[in-house]
Structure 1
Amino acid sequence: MPEKKVYSLFNLTTSIQNVINTYCNKTIWIKAEIVRLNYYPKSGHCYPSLVEKKDGKVIAELRGNIWSGNFEMINAKFKSVLKEELKDNITVVVQGTVSYHPLHGLALNIVDIDPEYTLGELAREKAHTIAKLREAGIFNANKKTLLSSLPKTIAIISVETSKGYGDFIDIIQNNPLAYKYHFLLFPAILQGERAVSSISQQLERIKKHSEIFDAVAIIRGGGGEIGLSSFDNYLLAEKIATFPIPILTGIGHSANETVSELVSYESFITPTKIAEFLLQKFNDFAVPVIDAEQKIQNEVNRMFKKEKVNLKETARLFSSLTGSAMNNSRANLNQLATVLDNRSQGLINEQKNMLDQAKRSILANAKKTLNEAAINLSFTEEKIGMLSPLNILKRGFSITRQNGKVIRDSDEIQEDLLLETQLYKGNLFSRIEKIVKK
């Protein structure tokens, strides 16, 4: 029996390396999705995790290498074309060669990335979403909803710490005319692959209490083409288009409107423009009311002035008709005119007092109604806060998701995908080692 020939692991991996380096050293272009960039600032190197998905499942995966010199060049090109740096969760076309190392394994050495392809992919997704919405007949649905002539109660979807949200609140709360608004923040992620599900969940929460709010404002502090790509997603655009109350969008300074902006009731280039729009609506409502009050007051004064002149003219005619025969009665007529004057003045004062009292009553009732609405809104906000997932997470519970979907049953788990566990502070990402069904 011939003796076994045993190779060392190093011999095997070295042989694989020689084969790959000999036959697979051609530079090629490859389409893939960067799920995690893995950039190390200290060295300047980058080791992106590249995948290809089909129907939401990963069907191929490979590690990439981008050495510091190439990364600087690629990143600068991306910022020039897309106004953003290279980041996680984007589809790219990369140029590189396949390599194998006995210790580090198989990798794709990337020397270039074409940002124009990524830009084209975003444009294609946007066009596809618009076509589906038009085909479904819902593209203009939200534009047909009715916006109150005085929109004062606003639901806001934003990141509490964002500059755009801060600017919006500052303009609303510090407006020079002291107009009062009621608003409630629904915090959401507004960038990346989780933005669609995060915004959609908050829209569903608002929808359950849509009778409370006059409008929804989606506020974001700007960004490049990639950062705004989630707003071209069909599922999110569909929710906005079919929402029962007006949605106002102010999500950035991009030259091209996203689909979410196109289907919203009205879009604004910045969050501050939404605030100015709401203030103008309040002013458009308030000014005619003030003008009407002034016109009523002026008309009453004019009428009483006219009647006073008529009374004096009547007294003068009586006096001139009687001549000398009426000399003895002149004093009586003057006295009568004085009495009439006093009565007319008293009537004027009485009407003025009635107007002042009516004005005070209207203001008091309006303040009472607004206070009651504020109390109800605060109570509703308290109830919403109690039901907030954050309060549940704070007590030690967690939420596990896979591919953006909340996992409630082990049968729903796909073993080849990452698990994301949301804690009260931070998220964990893990892979499945074993599933025990109970």
Structure 2
Amino acid sequence: MSTKQIFPLSKLTLAIENVINTHCSKMVWVKAEIVKLNHYPHTGHCYPDLVEKSNGKIVAELRGNIWKSNFDKINEKFRSVLNEDLRDDMTVVVQATVTFHSVYGLALNILDIDPEFTLGELAKQRAEAIKKLNDEGIFEANKDTLLPKLPKTLAIISVESSKGYQDFLNVIDSNPWGYQFHYKLFPAVLQGERAVSTINAQLKKIKKYKKIFDAVAIIRGGGGEIGLSCYDNYNLAKEIAIFPLPVLTGIGHSTNETVSELVSYKSFITPTKIAEFLLQEFHNFSQPLEESAHKIKSGAMLLFERQHTQLSQASSSFGFLAGRTLDREKNILSFYQQMLFSASKALLKQESSELKNIAISVEHLSPANILKRGFSITRKEGKVITNASLLAEGDLVETEFLSGKASAEIKNINDK
């Protein structure tokens, strides 16, 4: 019986390493998708996870190595061509050699990456997103939403520390006309791949309170044009296109508009321009009112002056007695004038008081206050039940109290 020949693992891996490094050392160009970049800032090295997909399934997978010196040069090229860094979820063409290490295994040693190919892929994705939105008939949907004459209440998707957001607030809050705006910040990541999911999540949250807000502003500034490809993402653009409120975008760049900007109600180069647009909307509403008020005041003054002149002329014509009569009539006219102003002021005050009383009554009748007084609200399939005849035995109902809800099944009905 022959003796088994046993090799140490290191000897086997060394043999594999010799074969691969001898016969596979030629540089090749390889197309792959970077699933995860795995960049380590403390060393500067990168270990990207590379895959090839077919019909959404991974058909090939290999680890890559990009040493710091190469990574810095590659990243600089990407910034100059794509206006963004090398990142996760990019399809790339890499120049590499195949290497094998006894401990770390098989890998692609990446020497260079062609940013022009990735630029073409991003342009292709952008074109596909625009075509898909047009084919679905929703490309212009957000432009058809209604922006109120006075867009006062805004939902803002941004980051509190963003320079663009601070610039926007400075223009809005310090406007010299004293226009008052109400706004709420919904924080989100504003660039890179995570921007799509976080902005979409905040849009869905705002949609629940769409009756409160007049419009949504997506504000990004101070970051230059790095990381803007996320705004060409179909899923983000679709969420903006079908959003029930007007979406105003100010993401701070000067190149071609992204798909998200194209489908929005209105896009602006900077967040400051959004603020100026909103102030202009107030101007468009207030100026005609001011002009009308001025015309009414001027017309009234002119009418009184004309009547005064006519009375003075008549007084001179009819002599002293007639003058006294006319003076009396002027006094009466002046009295009625004062009465008219006083009555108008009192009427406005009365109407204002009645409106406040109505507001208080409405507040007292709100569901929350009704629940506070010990009442409850019963619903069937989301509809409020006000009459027992609307129920049948076996129906499932939900009863809302001031604190909490309870579900029950109808066992007996007495509709008297």
Aligned to 1:342: 331
Q: Take 1:279 and 1:311, find their aligned partners in 2: how far apart are those partners? A: 47
- How far 1:37 sits from its partner (Å)? 2.9
Q: Percent identity?
A: 55
- How far 1:30 sits from its partner (Å)? 1.3
- How far 1:32 sits from its partner (Å)? 2.0
CA spacing shift, 1:179–1:169, aligned 2, 3 Å: same
- How far 1:252 sits from its partner (Å)? 2.2
Aligned to 1:155: 155
Aligned to 2:298: 298
TM-score in terms of structure 1 length:
0.76
| Letter matched to residue 45 of structure 1 | H
Deviations 1:262-312 (A, max 9, x none): 011100011111111111111211122122112111111111222222223
TM-score in terms of structure 2 length:
0.79
Aligned to 1:332: 321
| Letter matched to residue 342 of structure 1 | N
Aligned to 2:412: none
Aligned to 2:277: 277
Aligned to 1:36: 36
Q: Take 2:354 and 2:275, find their aligned partners in 1: how far apart are those partners? A: 27
Q: How does 1:233-248 map to 2 (within 5 A)?
A: 233-248=233-248
Deviations 1:229-255 (A, max 9, x none): 221121221121111121111112140
- How far 1:76 sits from its partner (Å)? 1.9
Count how many residue pairs are aligned between Structure 1 and Structure 2: 363
Asked if 1:116 is matched to 2:109, the reply is no
CA spacing shift, 1:196–1:39, aligned 2, 3 Å: closer
Q: How does 1:68-217 map to 2 (within 5 A)?
A: 68-217=68-217
- How far 1:214 sits from its partner (Å)? 0.9
- Give 5+ residue unaligned stretches, structure 2: 363-367, 369-416
For the residue of structure 2 that corresponds to 1:149, the secondary structure is coil
CA spacing shift, 1:234–1:341, aligned 2, 3 Å: same
Q: Take 2:94 and 2:27, find their aligned partners in 1: how far apart are those partners? A: 10
| Letter matched to residue 95 of structure 1 | Q
Q: Take 2:155 and 2:49, find their aligned partners in 1: how far apart are those partners? A: 38
Higher mean displacement: 348-357 or 2-11: 348-357
Q: Take 2:48 and 2:74, find their aligned partners in 1: how far apart are those partners? A: 13
- How far 1:176 sits from its partner (Å)? 1.6
2:44–2:71: 8 Å Cα contact kept in structure 1? yes
2:225–2:252: 8 Å Cα contact kept in structure 1? no
RMSD over aligned Cα, in angstroms? 2.8
Q: Take 1:284 and 1:57, find their aligned partners in 2: how far apart are those partners? A: 55
CA spacing shift, 1:366–1:299, aligned 2, 3 Å: farther
| Letter matched to residue 35 of structure 1 | V
Q: Take 2:181 and 2:148, find their aligned partners in 1: how far apart are those partners? A: 13
- How far 1:370 sits from its partner (Å)? 11
For the residue of structure 1 that corresponds to 2:213, the secondary structure is coil
